[in-house]
Amino acid sequence: MSVEWLIVPFAAFFAAVISGLGGFGGALILVIILTPIVGVKAVIPIISVFATCNNLSRVFIYRKHIIWRTALQFTMASLPGVYFGAKLLEWLPERVLVFILGLILLFAIPLGRYLKRRKFESGIKTIIGFGAIYGLVSGAAAGTGMLVIAGLNSAGLRGSILLGTDALIGFFNGATRAGVYSFLGLLSPTMIGYALLMGLLTIPGNWVASLIVKKMGDNLHSKLIEFLIAAGGIWFIYKSVFN
């Protein structure tokens, strides 16, 4: 076992804590750690299994706060795009895919700030619209949970309700993506095994995050997540252009 793989368990735990705090950001941590080890073509399918485990543990923690109707509407709208996004992953050259990942991450920051500044109220059309976009993008890229948070936040969900509803959406999406990747031959049994071992660490990670959520201010957390997203986006673009 290489030294790089010794870092993976710690990264998985930290990723669960980060995603448990705000609903996204954990996949970004794993993408940064795993991409040099397994390559970008493999890391996204692996993270789909990890995300399924991660969100399942959050569903259990926030089970009393989930708005099931909103979660199901968002999920149903996202399912068709997952397949086409996965086909995009299969077709695109690795350098182009890495560049697109970087742009997605950087674009998420001004998008989130714009939605917050506009303070618009949305209904089922907005939920379905965000769901459809999320399905397509999540099928081809990791770290797209910020689109779910943006959509749910625009619908007025906050705190534990936001985290619980997001977790249910993420669970269905991760399971769907894992199934599609397996069908397309992009997810091997060995990759699933590694991802499930990483997924076990999401249980203590999400428990720690749930304790921090009760004490951490929204402003500090928002700045932390934006920093992580921006750093990841810049890193991906740099990797695609200069490597």
User: Are 28 and 236 contacting, i.e. CB atoms less than 8 angstroms apart?
Assistant: no
Spell out the domain ranges in the chain: 3-242
The count of C-alpha atoms lying within 13 angstroms of the C-alpha of 31, restricted to the half-sphere facing its C-beta, is 28
How would residue 59 be classed by pLDDT, with cut points 50, 70 and 90?
very high
Q: How far apart are CA 89 and CA 40, in angstroms?
A: 10
User: Maximum distance among all alpha carbons in the chain?
Assistant: 51
Place of tokens 């750690």: 33
Q: How far apart are CA 108 and CA 186, in angstroms?
A: 27
- Per residue, the 3-state secondary structure of 153-171, as one string, reads HHCCCCHHHHHHHHHHHHH
Query: What is this structure's pTM?
Result: 0.71
At 36 the pLDDT is 79
238 has pLDDT over 80 = yes
Q: Tens digits of per-residue pLDDT, 91-141?
A: 777 677 778 767 777 776 776 677 667 655 556 777 777 788 777 777 776
Q: What is the DSSP letter of 63?
A: G
With CA atoms as reference, report the closest residue to 57 among 199, 187, 223: 199
Residue 36's alpha-carbon distances to 6, 33, 174, in angstroms, are 14, 7, 22
Backbone CA torsion sign across 210, 136, 78, 104: positive
At 114 the pLDDT is 74
